[in-house]
Structure 1
């Protein structure tokens, strides 16, 4: 057992947790937890996961994961870019690109049908109008071989003077006021330690986006503390999550430096200078 493993096991025992309890809290398999305590990192899926699992273990038993990683960095294997890239799944936004383009024609098709229907109606009305009978002069036979043409009587038009005397009611245009559009507002409620709470109002959809400039570990949970995302995000990648169906999300970023978090394309500021931070966003629907 290494010095780091002994320190973590001592903190776990002080909390009264068994390995099974810790597995339930961190969602890390107990064989990995036992491997951390024994210093047996060969059972882990990669060096990047070793550091991530140690940090989660430390946080769960009340220790500072960042300080432990710094103190015992000589004992812990360092991850490489290749290790991180192997374990990053395709982001939801990339998987959904093909579906959007394939459905585009089906969205336009009903509009094309309606347009053709309107054009057909216009052609029919124009054809009927061209076939209407035109006014022709009436012929009157006088009986002596002469024929007199009479024009149809035109309707009488009132003189301008009479038109001026007729009262004309002015039509008042009814002005319809459009309701004010409520803009999205993100308000910082409080900050305690590495956890900050925001309230989001004035939005219909809730989309979380992380643009990673540096490698980071990402953990997102819903209002029932259910894990929605628990994975590494590599530098240069973008991760998106549609959280519209939830009332709250808790976003934990293992490395905030250089990385950017968006909520509906609005940047969410990290209130502190801590490397690891939790951002709780409450959706006011």
Structure 2
């Protein structure tokens, strides 16, 4: 076993995780995890996967991957494509710059000629428009006299009377609307209920009533392992939550009738149901690991 393997295995055991737990968290096959801890890289697909597995293993245990690579760089196999890729990149860059400069020098004379032609056309257009516009305006001013409009006093009085009548009608409509709103009774929707109905040992059961949805949110205030299963026993989430990694997870169980939640450390775990915080029926200080069942009672039941 290598020094790197000892470091990874000690960190895993310190977290209280088995190889099966780590396989579930990282999605890396157990035989590859054993290979990392024993320093046996021959069983893996290649050097790239060795480095990728070391990085994923380190992140799952809150270790710094950069520090791991630097400390154990003599043990971790390196990939051999970096230098070759950099050389190709430099050659391609020089070629691109040379070709681009040549094309620019060819285009410059054409651009200058185009700018000169556009400038000359603009100056010519300016003189033509100004001369023709001045003559046309003089001709129109000489042939036409201004027309004056006189507003009738009777028309103004009629318009003012119409405005006053409109304002009175608007006030009456607003008063009627206010009366209608005041007379209409407001029916409040029943408030969501999340109540404990049974608890024994490390198991507790809650009923969720008067809810339109069933969304469970788990938040870590330290470090904890949690899992969530639906009424069919299907796993909707399982993994490690911590303030230094993934701190929370949210599971929508609206289409299910029950959620079974396993909390590895209730002292560092908060549970919210439709944004309402669940109060533990069993004190976390008395029972750290708890199994919590939430039964979703539909409104039509």
Q: Into which bin does the TM-score normalised by the smaller protein fall?
A: 0.3 to 0.5
Name the one with the larger helix percent. 2
| TM-score (normalizing by structure 1) | 0.42
- Normalising by the residue count of structure 2, what TM-score does the alignment of the two structures yield? 0.40
